[in-house]
Amino acid sequence: MVTIAFGVFAAVFVGVLGGGPVSSGIAFVANIGVSLLARQLGRWRVPDFFTTAACSFGVTLTALLLWRFDLTNAPAIVVVGGILLLLPTGRLVSSVQDAINGFPVTAAGRFLSTLLTFGAIVAGIAVAFVVGAMTGMQPISVTQTFPPAYDLWVLVLFIAVAVLAIGVTEQTSLELLLPTAGVGVVGYLVLLGAASLGVGDRFSPALAAVVIGLLARVVALKMGAPQLVVAVPAALILLPGLTIFRSMYVLTIEESEILLGAGGMLNAGAIVLGTAGGIVLGDTLARPLTRSLASNERRRARRR
């Protein structure tokens, strides 16, 4: 189920980003391969850093090869569907939470681990670009935009399925899957609403993350689960995978535009940190609403 869920998430999220059925099918197959690769490397006790780098390399090189042979017209969004599940979202949110709540030592350790994982993803993408360039890869237009390929109601349904699939890959308990999908859909609608109001590409995900963090605390505590179990799968759809891909392409292939690529990576980092901070802020804002449910949290702490 976890392996299939990996592929399902990539397929539907590629549809959300603007990819058609062919791109979704490619993402499905590629991500199942990535999942199996990660599992095999885990059996061989390969460190997480190199496992993550190998997975991001594999999905990027697959997309570039298919682009070279004209089997897909959107390699960028195929890659995004693959790397989002590799991002250490839960660790990042936990580190921001620890830093805000006054636990600098654990926050620093988690930040370092998160930074290494991001570095592994970026390294895998960069190496794939270099290999592609050496084998005659066709140039990619990093300014290409992808208009919606489906109606809004279909995109909302895709988001619900994507969050369900993330929950399965994280091995969330069965009764939490549908509530988590509901929180993710609400967050996505807030993201669309904020973007239509002109809030901006950086602030819109943070605003949606605040709503997700607030709802996740209420839902999770009512069902006897930690807030992050609901918040992390629901917020994964907010992360800027497309920006990361485009920035790494510019940094690696188009050396004359290195400042543009560096700016893109900083922009992506700002969105990621804003999303993590938004989840923590939403959790804090929800605490007055969940005082009667706080006993669930204390009871879990005592068991730990």
Mean pLDDT, consecutive 10-residue stretches, the chain (304 aa), reads: 91 89 89 90 93 92 85 82 81 85 88 88 87 78 75 94 93 93 96 90 92 94 90 90 80 73 85 90 89 60 49
Per-residue tokens: 205: 């995900």
Q: How many domains does the chain have?
A: 1
Kindly state the helix (H) or strand (E) to which residue 53 belongs, with its residue range. Answer: helix 48-68
Cα-Cα-Cα-Cα dihedral sign, residues 28, 170, 18, 186? positive
User: From CA 16, how far away is CA 238, in angstroms rounded?
Assistant: 12
Domain that holds residue 209: 2-303
Cα atoms in the 13 Å half-sphere on the side-chain side of 286: 25
Per-residue tokens: 95: 């580190």
pLDDT of residue 179: 95
pTM of the model: 0.86
Per-residue tokens: 155: 């995109």
Smallest CA-to-CA distance from 24 within 109, 150, 111 is with 150
Write the DSSP string, 193-253: HHHHTT--TTHHHHHHHHHHHHHHHHHHHHTT--HHHHHHHHHGGGS-HHHHHHHHHHHHT
